[in-house]
Structure 1
Amino acid sequence: MPTDAAATAGPHALDATTLEGNRGATGYPAPYRARVAGRAKVKLGDPFGLKNFGVNLTRLEPGAESALRHWHTLQDEFIYVLEGTLVLVTDAGERELRPGMCAGFPAGRADGHHLVNRGTAAAVYLEVGDRTPGDEAHYPDEDLQHRDGRFFHRDGTPW
Structure 2
Amino acid sequence: MKDEQPVTALHAMDVPPRTTPSNYPQPYASKMQGRIKRALGDMFGLTNFGVNLTTLAPGAVSALRHAHTKQDEWIYVISGNPSLLTDQGRTSLQAGMCAGFKAGTGNAHCLMNDTDEEVVYLEVGDRTPGDEAVYPDDDIAARMVDGKWKFFRKDGTAY
- Which bracket does the TM-score occupy, shorter chain normalised? over 0.9
Deviations 1:7-34 (A, max 9, x none): 8432211122221012661111211122
CA distance in 1, matches of 2:155, 2:139: 8
Deviations 1:110-148 (A, max 9, x none): 011000000001100000000001000000011110012
- Identity percentage over the alignment? 52
Task: Give the structure with the larger helix fraction.
Answer: 1
TM-score under structure 1 length normalisation:
0.93
Deviations 1:78-107 (A, max 9, x none): 000000010000000000010000000001
What's the secondary structure of 2:103's corresponding residue? coil
CA distance in 2, matches of 1:115, 1:122: 12
Please tell me whether residue 16 in structure 1 is matched to residue 12 in structure 2: yes
Instruction: Map residues 3-42 of structure 1 onto 2, 5 A cutoff.
Output: 8-22=4-18, 25-42=21-38
Instruction: Map residues 62-101 of structure 1 onto 2, 5 A cutoff.
Output: 62-101=58-97
Question: Is the contact made by 1:23 and 1:38 (CA closer than 8 Å) also made in structure 2?
Answer: no
Segments of structure 1 that go 5 or more residues without pairing to the other structure are none
1:150 match: 150
Change (3 A) 1:39 1:23: farther
CA distance in 1, matches of 2:56, 2:70: 26
Alignment: residue pair count? 155
CA distance in 1, matches of 2:90, 2:68: 19
TM-score under structure 2 length normalisation:
0.93
Segments of structure 2 that go 5 or more residues without pairing to the other structure are none
Bigger shift: residues 62-71 or 148-157: 148-157
| Superposition CA RMSD, Å | 1.6
Runs of 4+ in 1 over 4 A off after TM superposition: none
Bigger shift: residues 101-110 or 26-35: 26-35
CA distance in 2, matches of 1:150, 1:95: 30
Q: What is the letter of the counterpart of residue 33 of structure 1?
A: A
What's the secondary structure of 2:9's corresponding residue? coil
Larger Rg: 1
